Amino acid sequence: QVQLKETGPGLVQPTQTLSITCTVSGFSLTSYYMQWVRQTPGKGLEWMGFIRSGGSTEYNSEFKSRLSISRDTSKNQVFLKMNSLKTEDTGVYYCAREGPLGADYVMDAWGQGASVTVSS
Amino acid sequence: DIQMTQSPSLLSASVGDRVTLNCKASQNIYKNLAWYQQKLGEAPKLLIYNANSLQTGIPSRFSGSGSGTDFTLTISSLQPEDVATYFCQQYYSGYTFGAGTKLELK
């Protein structure tokens, strides 16, 4: 069955770089867009960016200057890297699959989330 | 950017009640709207897409309606397991989520 699982550092110091890995099973990364969404106390659910099935990326302008999404299809993994972290970046980071449903493309499967605290 | 406004922010209802949650878009998004359910400590779960299409495996007591700027999620007969926060999301232009409606039992 379709599964997604995020792994991350838990605690990151301000100004440092966050790295989270999303490992998927039950489907191919070359057939689906993979999204990153975060949930913070201050802003709730926020779309961060995605990597297309073909490997190109698109980012929310709010994060564009400090966010990078990449993947390793041989390992079924998608990666999020975000630099210059601030305390406001504390929250839960989710990867989600965007799948075709009818004529729409919707986030139809989510990982359990990686909790990140930005603190010194 | 398209803003999504949900109301009410908190809703208390009894088991068996018909419950209606609202979502308003800041501009026309046609039917490019999804509803998600998030239980405490869990990831969001897709309930409805295309404003009124029920995701596979979701109970038929959940339904969605609306188009343009005004949308509704209805639970026809509230069950204890429906206690959760519900989010709407537009995917017409980028992706934006509402702030959520927290549904609790009275």
pLDDT tens digit sequence for B45-74: 999 999 999 999 999 999 999 999 999 999
| Nearest CA-CA distance, residue B41 and chain A, Å | 9
Q: Which residues of A touch B91 (CB under 8 A)?
A: 104-106
Q: Do A106 and A50 form a contact (C-beta atoms < 8 A)?
A: no
Q: Could you read off the pLDDT tens digit of each residue along chain A, which spans 120 residues? A: 999 999 999 999 999 999 999 999 999 999 999 999 999 999 999 999 999 999 999 999 999 789 999 999 999 999 999 999 999 999 999 999 998 888 889 999 999 999 999 999
SS3 B80: helix
pLDDT of residue A103: 85
Q: Which residues of B touch A47 (CB under 8 A)?
A: 94-97
pLDDT of residue A64: 77
Chain-wide mean pLDDT for chain B? 97
User: Quick one: three-class SS letters along chain A?
Assistant: CCEEEEECCCEECCCCCEEEEEEEECCCCCCCEEEEEEEECCCEEEEEEEECCCCCEEECCCCCCCEEEEEEHHHCEEEEEECCCCHHHCEEEEEEEEEEECCEEEEEEECCCEEEEECC
Name the closest residue on chain B to residue A107, using Cα atoms: B46
Q: Quickly state the pLDDT bin for B19 (edges 50, 70, 90).
A: very high
Pairwise CB contact (< 8 Å): A106 & B34: yes
Is A5 an 8 Å CB contact of chain B?
A: no
Name the closest residue on chain B to residue A40, using Cα atoms: B99
